[in-house]
Structure 1
Amino acid sequence: MRAVRVEEFGGPEVLVPVEVPDPVAGPGQVLLRVAAAGVNRADALIRAGKYHRAGRPPLTPGLEAAGTVLAVGEGVTGFRPGQRVMAMAESNNPGFYAELAAVPAHKVVALPDGVDPVAAAGLPVAWLSAWYSLNHLARLAKGETVVVQAAASGVGSAAVQIAAEAGARVVAVARTADKTEWAASLGAHETVDTSVFEGDAVVDEVLRLTGGEGADVVLDTVGGDTFGYSLRQAGFAGRVVALANVALAPSTIDTRHFYPKNVSIHGFQITGLVEHGYDPRPDLLALVERVATGAYRVPVEATFPLERAAAAHERLERRSNRGKVVLTMGQD
């Protein structure tokens, strides 16, 4: 089968198309013919050797995908060949940048009719991260205000829609007017353009938009300096969820910016949670059912054929995308 391998850590150029032996479905596994694989920041970190859960080269990136079942291993029930599914890989053994992948059955969910596999490929990591952060950690309630950092990213565009559907007031923060306008089209009620407001000015603008009270929930998908700003944007008894550090920089914070306000800080990583026993299937089913009904739209900014995985990573790392970047295998 065709796959994209990382033989040594480095930039996008180390993503090399190769021919490798076909995998087989072992006990408790489902063999998946991959139709589409989501491209995530974690994939770029895996490729660069900066993702703490990844193994050593040679390895095949890819943490989320959608496709069809080819075969099931011993002890697997509930799946059949030809069934359309989406799946999440193990963080220490990714592998969806390939035509075939053997996946633990407890990380596979059937797709409802009408859900496109390209859209479904973006659900198991980015969308599930936004869903879990808002619903399980922050416990976002109707009428509350939520700030979404990097609102045009894959996680951000999911969070805007999930929060808006929950009846929250959404303040979307993004890097350009084009991105903030797009976030507004997804349901954001207020926007902050960080090409206009920078640093402390972003905090001041969020406070202005919240009448000086600050937000009930802040979803921080950026890290670095932004995490410090997120703490200052939270109001009394606010909840800040930090789920990424795409800035790849330390966060310098002042504890006085959160402890007097009784702010709760939640760290979150979906792959780590799954490896420690979380069953993603109920939440993935809830997500995909809402996609099937049209309640949520999974924006896919660009698709690339498998052989152009390097170009997909370059696109992602320019941070110019609005929504997901997806690899396709040229098959249904």
Structure 2
Amino acid sequence: MRAVRFHAHGGFDRLVVDEVPEPAPGPGEVVVRILAAGVSPLDDKVRAGVLPDSMLKPLPLVPGATGVGEVVDPGTSSWQPGSRVLVTGWGFGTSRDGLWRERIAVPAESLVALPDGVDDHTAAAMAAGSGYLTAYLALTELAPLAPGARVLAPGYAGAVGSATVEIARVLGAGTVISTARGAERVRAAREAGLAQIVDPTAEDLRDAVLRLTAGHGVDVVVDGIGGPLTGDLVLSLADRGVLVSVGYTAGTTATVELTYLIWRGAQIKGFMFTLFTPERIREANERLLDLAARKQITPRVAEVLPLEQAGEAQQRVVEDQPFGRVLLVP
């Protein structure tokens, strides 16, 4: 059976396709044939050695945190052979081998049934990068939206940014703003249906937010960028606004004007999936799949590549930052 692995940390060329043993279900496990797996920035950080060794299983490691598949051996579970499932759960591609492979044995509770109205690639794109799940939990648990709320989700090309735009609309937001760098990306975002898009290379972000919100500022920011941008995002908050910090693709250090937080009564909240119970995460995934089936969210697929091009897939995600998710198929 084929699986993508890396045997040492390093560049994209560290990813190789190996022959590995066929999985067999252990107690409480199900064997799933992988139909499509997501590629995310986390996979790049794991391969490059950015994460501490304490978070990773000993190498070699199979990347891939999320994917879609078909049950081939249900073991002792109640799943039926042929069931289409979303595979998700803590630790895939980090503390245990992930989903960039042909088949895998996973705990039965890691599976969520796919509705008939959602095809394999749409479901895999929804899960890739955990953007939709992050956005949904951020906007329902950490910063619940009031009707008509103003939301800022920078980085429209990223999984979190684009998903937050869609989820905010579903949850009743009024004004939803995102960012894209350069005229070409701004045009692509507008063609995708996002009217309120800011190019931070052409206009000061805070000025743009005030212009688009009639001087009010935004009630919620979902920040998957981090770094120097976070300080500008804080300055875009309205009175009693909340910034939910979910990522740090631009860096882990930010400078924040504390008096602004104090005088505005604003808050910064950190996001981790470990804040939520497995039951809550399952409920959220089921809700997201239902929204996809109803076409209320439309996860986009930018490219589908075979396992043999895993390095190219990672490079595409990290360097090109396409609109839409990149998937691997066995």
TM-score (norm 1): 0.91
The one of 183, 195, 205 equivalent to 2:189 is: 183
Aligned-pair Cα RMSD in Å? 1.8
Write the mapping of 1:135-174 to structure 2, written as runs, cut at 5 A.
135-168=140-173, 169-174=175-180
Paired residue secondary structure (2:164):
helix
Residue 34 (structure 1) aligned with residue 39 (structure 2): no
Deviations 1:193-252 (A, max 9, x none): 12313xxx1122112222222100111111111111111111111111111111234222
Q: 1:206 aligns with which of 204, 209, 225?
A: 209
C-alpha distance in 2, partners of 1:273/1:72? 30
The AA in structure 2 aligned to 1:167 is G
Cα distance per residue 1:296-324 (max 9 Å; x no partner): 11111111111101001111111431121
- Cα distance in 2 for residues equivalent to 1:242 and 1:187: 25
User: What is the rounded CA distance, in whole Å, between the counterparts of 1:105 and 1:149 in structure 2?
Assistant: 36
How far did 1:277 drift? 4.7
2:136 aligned to 128, 131, 137, which one?
A: 131
Which segment is superposed worse, 2-11 or 126-135? 126-135
Alpha-carbon contact 1:161-1:187 (below 8 Å) kept: no
Report the residue type matching 2:56 in the other structure.
A
Q: Distance in 2 between matches of 1:5 and 1:309?
A: 10
In the alignment, residue 160 of structure 2 is paired with which amino acid? V
Q: Tell me if the contact between 1:164 and 1:187 (Cα under 8 Å) persists in the aligned partners.
A: no
CA 1:111–1:208: 2 relative to 1, 3 Å:
same
Please give the alpha-carbon distance, in whole angstroms, between the structure 1 residues aligned to 2:16 and 2:185. Answer: 32
Find the aligned partners of 2:29 and 2:182 in 1 and give their Cα distance.
44
- For normalisation by structure 2, the TM-score amounts to 0.92
How far did residue 94 of structure 1 move?
4.1
The question of whether the paired residues in 2 share the 8 Å contact of 1:62 and 1:89 is answered with no
Q: Which residue of 1 aligns with 2:117?
A: 114
Question: Offset of 1:182 from its aligned partner?
Answer: 3.4
| Local SS of the residue matching 2:176 | strand
For 2:215 and 2:310, the matched residues in 1 are separated by 45
2: CA distance, partners of 1:304 / 1:257: 46
The residue number in structure 2 matching 1:22 is 22
1:242 aligns with 2:245: yes
1:63 pairs with 2:65: yes
* Alpha-carbon distance between aligned partners in 1 of 2:39 and 2:83, rounded to the nearest angstrom: 23
The residue that corresponds to 2:301 in the other structure is: 300
- Name the aligned partner's letter for residue 214 of structure 2: G
- Tell me the amino acid that sits aligned with residue 143 of structure 2: A
Assess if the C-alpha contact under 8 Å between 1:68 and 1:82 holds in 2. yes
Report Cα offsets for 1:246-270 as digits up to 9, x if no partner.
1234222232232221112121133
Answer whether contact 2:228 2:255 (CA < 8 A) is retained: yes
Between 1:246-255 and 1:124-133, the stretch displaced more is 246-255
- Residues 243, 269 of structure 2: 8 Å contact kept: yes
C-alpha displacement at 1:43, in angstroms? 0.9
> Compared with structure 1, are the counterparts of its residues 100 and 285 closer, same or farther at alpha carbon in structure 2 (3 Å cutoff)?
same
In the alignment, residue 154 of structure 1 is paired with which amino acid?
A: A
Q: Give the aligned partner of residue 3 of structure 2.
A: 3
Cα separation, 1, equivalents of 2:67 and 2:275: 18
SS of match in other structure, 1:102? strand
Distance 1:278 1:112, change over 3 A: closer
Q: Which amino acid is the alignment partner of residue 238 of structure 1?
A: G
1:89–1:103 contact (8 Å) kept in structure 2: no
- Looking at structure 2, the residues matched to 25 and 237 of structure 1 have their Cα atoms a distance apart, in angstroms, of 50
- Shifted more, 179-188 versus 211-220: the winner is 179-188
Post-superposition Cα deviations, 1:45-91, rounded to whole Å, max 9, x if no partner, equal: 111122343333211110000010011233x22x1111001111432
CA distance in 1, matches of 2:185, 2:224: 15
Where do 5+ consecutive residues of structure 1 fail to align?
none
In structure 2, the CA distance between the partners of 1:285 and 1:278, relative to structure 1 (3 Å rule), is: closer
Aligned residue in 2 for 1:268: 271
Letter in 1 for 2:326: V
